[in-house]
């Protein structure tokens, strides 16, 4: 009996061992795969969460940079409303742009274009370049030109560039009567508002000669009176004159200083030189003031 019992036990052990050895690997494999997938999902979730945090932080940083009050890159020109307490700059007696408080960027430039609006292609070329450099410029317009081509004024406005008053007929105002000066300034205020929905807040007298009466009438209309502190001299150049773009670069850079209020015109050679000019100014460490941050006279 003992021998038979031992034999039976041995046979049972052998059968049990065989069953264990032939057990399918699928369960172990599934467990391993499940563990790997959990690790992968966990890793991807962690990556997405980190990416989302990084995107959020980056967006926050970008917003801070875009909302800097010196250079306009996210604001929309005239359509953006800036309170009096947010005005960062003012013009001094020499018409330079000066910070209102410590800490504001001093190495800034105000860009301006006179005597328009003239041609759609030239306006678009100038504004394309301004947009490329995230810059704004005041376009000082004449009333008689606006009357002839109101669509050009609307083009400037629709492309989010500020519009200034440059008198109706581009005449010297300093020797004119107060009634004539009022007519020259106020008719431009009206036609610009009728065309765009907004009246100008900047005034530049033709030839830089407005006189005391011009200053008085400008102030009565809530206009900031200005001439310029750096002249490109583009208006002195002739169509067939060689190297005009180089001359513009030279004229501006030789006079350049912090707060420069640069006078340019809607002229083909100025439009051609503008990209190189703005690039050079940026390389010198200058930024472009958004005109909406310049302090206006009290009404």
- CATH number for position 161: 3.20.20.370
The residue count of the chain comes to 299
CB 126 within 8 A of CB 112: no
**Domain assignment of residue 49, given as a range:** 26-66
pLDDT given for residue 85 in this prediction = 72
Do 237 and 95 share a structural domain?
Answer: yes
pLDDT at 299: 66
Using left for φ > 0, alpha for ψ between -120 and 50, and beta otherwise, residue 50 falls in alpha
Instruction: Give the other-Cβ count within 10 Å of 45's Cβ.
Output: 10
Q: Which helix (H) or strand (E) segment is 261 a member of?
A: strand 260-265
Give pLDDT tens digits for 217-246: 999 999 999 999 999 999 999 999 999 999
Q: What angle do CA 123, 158, 142 make, to 5 degrees?
A: 55
Q: 191, 146 in Cβ contact below 8 A?
A: yes
Q: Which pTM value belongs to this model? A: 0.75
> Could you read off the pLDDT of 207-225 as tens digits, one per residue?
999 999 999 999 999 999 9
> DSSP labels for 156-184?
HHHTT--EEE--SS----TTS-HHHHHHH
Q: Which helix (H) or strand (E) holds 114?
A: strand 108-116
Check whether residue 42 and residue 118 sit in a common domain: no
Q: Are residues 33 and 127 in the same domain?
A: no
pLDDT score of 86: 85
Residue 62 and residue 81 share a domain: no
Could you say which of 39, 66, 93 is where a domain stops? 66
- pLDDT at site 82: 73
How many domains are contained in the chain?
A: 2
Same domain, 174 and 250: yes
Active site residues: 114, 265
Residues 41 and 175 in one domain: no
Listed as ranges, residues in the chain with pLDDT below 70 are 1-81, 299
What does the alpha-carbon distance between residue 20 and residue 16 come to, in Å, rounded to a whole number? 6
Query: Are both 135 and 188 inside the same structural domain?
Result: yes
């Amino acid at each position: 009996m003992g021998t038979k019992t031992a034999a039976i036990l041995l046979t049972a052990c052998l059968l049990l061992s065989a069953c264990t050895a032939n057990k399918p690997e699928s369960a172990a494999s599934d467990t391993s795969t499940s563990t790997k997938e959990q690790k992968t999902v966990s890793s991807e979730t962690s990556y997405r969460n980190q990416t989302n945090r990084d995107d959020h932080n980056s967006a926050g940083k970008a917003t801070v940079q875009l909302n800097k009050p010196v250079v306009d890159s996210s604001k929309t020109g005239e359509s953006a409303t800036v309170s009096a307490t947010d005005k960062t700059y003012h013009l001094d007696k020499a018409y330079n742009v000066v910070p209102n408080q410590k800490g504001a960027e001093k190495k800034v430039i105000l860009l301006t274009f006179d005597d328009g609006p003239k041609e759609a292609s030239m306006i678009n070329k100038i504004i394309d370049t301004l947009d490329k450099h995230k810059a704004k410029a005041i376009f000082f317009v004449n009333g008689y030109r606006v009357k002839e081509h109101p669509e050009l004024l609307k083009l400037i406005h629709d492309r989010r560039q500020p519009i200034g008053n440059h008198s109706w007929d581009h005449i010297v105002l300093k020797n004119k009567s107060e009634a004539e000066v009022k007519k020259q300034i106020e008719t431009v205020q009206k036609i610009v508002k009728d065309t765009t929905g907004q009246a100008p807040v900047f005034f530049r007298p033709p030839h830089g000669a407005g006189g005391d009466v011009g200053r008085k009438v400008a102030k009565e209309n809530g206009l900031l009176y200005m001439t310029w502190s750096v002249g490109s001299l583009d208006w002195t150049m002739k169509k067939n004159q060689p190297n005009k773009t180089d001359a513009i670069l030279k004229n501006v850079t030789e006079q350049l200083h912090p707060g420069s209020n640069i006078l340019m015109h809607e002229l083909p050679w100025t439009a051609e030189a503008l990209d190189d000019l703005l690039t050079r100014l940026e390389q010198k460490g200058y930024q472009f003031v958004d005109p909406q941050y310049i302090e206006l006279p009290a009404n």
